[in-house]
Structure 1
Amino acid sequence: MDCSVFQYIGIFTSLYFIVKIVLKLIEGSRLYIFSTYPDFNKYGKWSVVTGSTDGIGKETAIQLASSGQNIVLISRSEEKLRNVANEIESKHNVQTKCLTIDFSDDEEIYDKIADFVQGLDVGTLVNNVGIAQEISCFHEHPNLSKFLRDIIRLNVISVIKVII
């Protein structure tokens, strides 16, 4: 049986795409079915999570605690901090420390954070603090200068200053 050049090209192209699909399936199963998590304890016994009372920050703190990490919870709501700390301690048998900080405050908050974690074996930082607000017209915002200052402090400066 004679095969033309086009048939060979078709066969090789089909094999190429089949191999790519199989490799993607293997990669996906490795990531989603047989996933492994890093051993955070080899970096340090404590993790610091900012913005830890709601949403992604809270869930990140819970997941770190489930892996055996002690958690430093940082947020602006003391009541929510206590609730999250109690939940984590009761479910995961780890220690928590709570620090009430509003990242839109002055620059001294970073010294407070440094003093608070002094002496702890911190190996992981999840800097989750930030704000996002949809505004259609900036010029209509009631307090635009404070709003912009808070966005810069929470979404830009905190990212750099918390690590330093």
Structure 2
Amino acid sequence: MTISRWKPNVTVAAVIEQNGKFLLIEEHTAQGLRLNTPAGHLDPGESPIEGCVRETLEETAHAFTPTALIGIYMARSSHRTGNKEDVTYMRFAFAGELGAREAGRALDEGIVRTVWMTADEIRASVSRHRSPLLLQCIEDYLAGKRYPLDLIHVDESVR
């Protein structure tokens, strides 16, 4: 008998603020065009920090240097995409510094564009958020939640 264990999907997200605006991406999803922070799934063999750097580059064409962990979040998504999908996500959200844009780099498949929005604009667009965690991460960032990166330990065996 095979025992199936529940496992959350681990994701990473970058919360990037400059001059009172946050960098978001607009992307095609099964539910239509949605907004999100630069975010994505953690790949095998990488740390959450490395995954966040990679995802930000892939989705925005910008380098990103995480400086703090904002928080670790969980949310459950249940929606129709041809068949009923029920997935729990665990998100590591990072604050950090946006670096230079990589000239000529295409955005990840499905990403339509990057957009800068104020917190109020993000609050007003909840119906277009890809994840219910988007706004919570922004609110925690605005509340000053920052934790040292060394809070996350990645054993050598991950590599």
TM-score w.r.t. the length of structure 2 is 0.23
TM-score w.r.t. the length of structure 1 is 0.22
Higher strand share: 2
Instruction: Work out which of the two has the higher radius of gyration on C-alpha atoms and give 1 or 2.
Output: 1
Higher helix share: 1
